Homo-oligomer: A and B are copies of this chain.
Amino acid sequence: MSVPASIQPPHRLLMGPGPITADPRVLRAMSAQLVGQYDPWMTDTMNEVMDLYREVFITENQQTMLVDGTSRAGIEAALVSLLAPGDRVLVPIFGRFGHLLAEICRRAGAEVHTIETEWGQVFTEEAIEAALVDVQPTVLAVVHGDTSTTVAQPLEGLGELCERHGALLYVDATATLGGNEFRVDEWRIDAATAGLQKCLGGPSGSAPVTFSDRAAEVILARTSVEEGIRAPGDPVAVEPIRSNYLDMGQIFHYWSERRLNHHTEATTMLYGARECARLLLREGLADAWERHRLHGCAMTAGAKAMGLTPFGSLAYRMNNVVGVQIPDGVNGEAVRGALLDDFGIEIGTSFGPLHGRIWRIGTMGYNARQDAVMVTLAALEAVLRRAGHRMAAGAGVDAAYGVYEDAL
């Protein structure tokens, strides 16, 4: 082959369910030069990242750090480390990512129990409590916002339920953290994981995670220090965690003062994760949640005004993504194609039962901005009109203007 030219991506406005356009400040931070992984500056920076993510997760948890992989690596690290083979886990499934949690738990050797509800709905506390009583799981593993359906499971109260029934509460906050209220300590969440590519405005590839002392104790009881670097007296578990790369105990040790060598820290991703948290905290969490709420409302109002029907329970809609039903007679993929090819704008389709039935339009992270909303609505109107969908001219944009004016 001939060696290709340097990278030159086409211009895109990413208004799908994530990944979204990265904040340019995050990409700039990632261009900083590397420093050795045990350099005092680097270990100080790792400690600083722990502090930043404690603020983002609203927690005092010592064990708050990054897993070097995408959000899915963070999910698996938490679950494979918390669950021993044979442990019972309860997974309430209300979309594609609940199925993912179940699959990951099954592969970790856990005994997986699920409850399911229609995609677009969420569970009542009573339904979850009944299942807890029935299953008596070690861990309740739940998705916060499932982008496949665009709704978020209310979490307040679940921590208390879990304490009462002797379970640990794990939450996948990949799609919500930074754009929706999320309080680890107040909500008594024992383990939470996320990614950068949604409301945090960074690229995929680093997973912020946090573990309560209770969860950390369970994990550390299962951890062995790695064979090649084990010192006399170091723990050797009878049944070690089934992964080395995703062994949260070893990752705790790597981020601890002992700095036990594990992987080679993905420094560029760490710089990115640091900048994501820094920008979010500079803005203020409450302001960031409100920003996501406002622009999500404007997008939803615009879509409705164009005659598009929102999907799922609007009462539980995530701030940062809205699902809308593809109108009868309109080719959903052709509309997405024209938006991308002719306007450089990406919106999403969905998975499983919703594939080809809904579009998913995101307003998150760097793209939770008025101009991104307005451009998307204007382009969508133009494409829908050419696809034969009828609406009043300017209806979407006008409705969004209305939301913004009301907010003043």
**Chain A residues in the interface with B (C-beta under 8 A):** 1, 3-4, 6-12, 14, 16, 18-22, 24-25, 27-37, 39, 41, 45, 48, 51-52, 55, 68-73, 75-76, 80, 95-100, 102-104, 106-109, 148, 195, 197, 203-205, 226-229, 240-247, 261-269, 271-272, 274-275, 278, 281-282, 340, 346, 351-352
Show 28 A/B contacts (Cβ-Cβ < 8 Å), sorted by A.
A1-B52, A1-B55, A4-B52, A7-B271, A8-B32, A9-B33, A9-B35, A9-B41, A12-B33, A14-B34, A21-B33, A22-B33, A27-B33, A68-B205, A69-B69, A70-B265, A71-B263, A73-B73, A75-B245, A76-B244, A76-B245, A96-B228, A98-B228, A148-B228, A203-B266, A203-B267, A204-B266, A228-B351
A253–chain B nearest beta-carbon distance, Å = 14
> Which residues on B sit within 8 Å (CB–CB) of A195?
264
Which B-chain residue is minimally distant from A341 (CB atoms)? B40
Sorted from nearest, which 10 A-B pairs have the closest CB atoms? Answer: A205-B266, A99-B228, A96-B228, A203-B268, A69-B69, A204-B264, A70-B263, A99-B227, A36-B346, A72-B263
A31-B31, A205-B266 known; 4 other A-B pairs, CB under 8 Å? A6-B29, A28-B31, A69-B69, A205-B269
> Which residues on B sit within 8 Å (CB–CB) of A104?
244-245
Which B-chain residue is minimally distant from A12 (CB atoms)? B35
A31–chain B nearest beta-carbon distance, Å = 5
Cα-based distance from A343 to B275 in the complex (angstroms): 28
Task: Let me know if B263 and A103 touch, CB within 8 A.
Answer: no
Given contacts A27-B268, A197-B264, A229-B351, contact A10 B41 (CB under 8 A): yes
> Which residues on B sit within 8 Å (CB–CB) of A197?
264
Task: Let me know if B32 and A30 touch, CB within 8 A.
Answer: no
